[in-house]
Structure 1
Amino acid sequence: MAVNDGFGRHEVLHMAAFLARTVASELAEHPEVKANPEWLALADQAGQSLEALYQAVGAAHLDQDRA
């Protein structure tokens, strides 16, 4: 099991932000996805989940730094 350290959280924050942007720009904007409301909703949900992960990790990171 990985050790929770500042670098690991930073890496998770980076990847969550990167993947959220990629889902939004490359997947949700793809013409095939935009043409299918079900697919678009799923792509949007994936992006929102990644953004929520980013926020949760960031909040935990800030809380730990304040302690």
Structure 2
Amino acid sequence: MPEMDDSGRHEVLHMASFLSRAVASELCEHAQVQANPEWKALADSAAESLWALYQAVGGTHLGDDGTISRE
């Protein structure tokens, strides 16, 4: 298993944020996904899971209370 370091955690933090935003804006808002409640629920779940990963990594990486502003 690779050793955990600040650089690796920062990379995971960045990608989780990027992918969460991309899924939310490009997939969750797509007309075909919006028209299908099952797909919408799955896409929303994917975005929420990526955001939860971002929060978990951020809490460890930044050493705060585990809450990071989404802005």
Question: Residue 3 of structure 1 aligns to which amino acid in structure 2?
Answer: E
User: What is the Cα-based RMSD across aligned positions, in Å?
Assistant: 1.3
- After the TM superposition, which segments of 4 or more aligned residues of structure 1 sit over 6 Å from their partners? none
Gaps of 5+ in 2: 64-71
Structure 2 CA distance, aligned partners of 1:15 and 1:61?
A: 14
Higher relative contact order, chain-length normalized (CA < 8 Å, sep 6+)? 1
CA shift, 1:62, in A, is 2.5
Question: Partner of 2:33 in structure 1?
Answer: 33
Question: Partner of 2:2 in structure 1?
Answer: 2
CA shift, 1:61, in A, is 1.4
Gaps of 5+ in 1: none
The count of residues paired between Structure 1 and Structure 2 equals 64
Structure 2 CA distance, aligned partners of 1:14 and 1:55?
A: 11
Q: Trace 1:8-47 onto structure 2 (pairs within 5 A).
A: 8-47=8-47
Of all paired residues, the percent bearing the same amino acid is: 68
Q: Which is helix-richer, 1 or 2?
A: 1
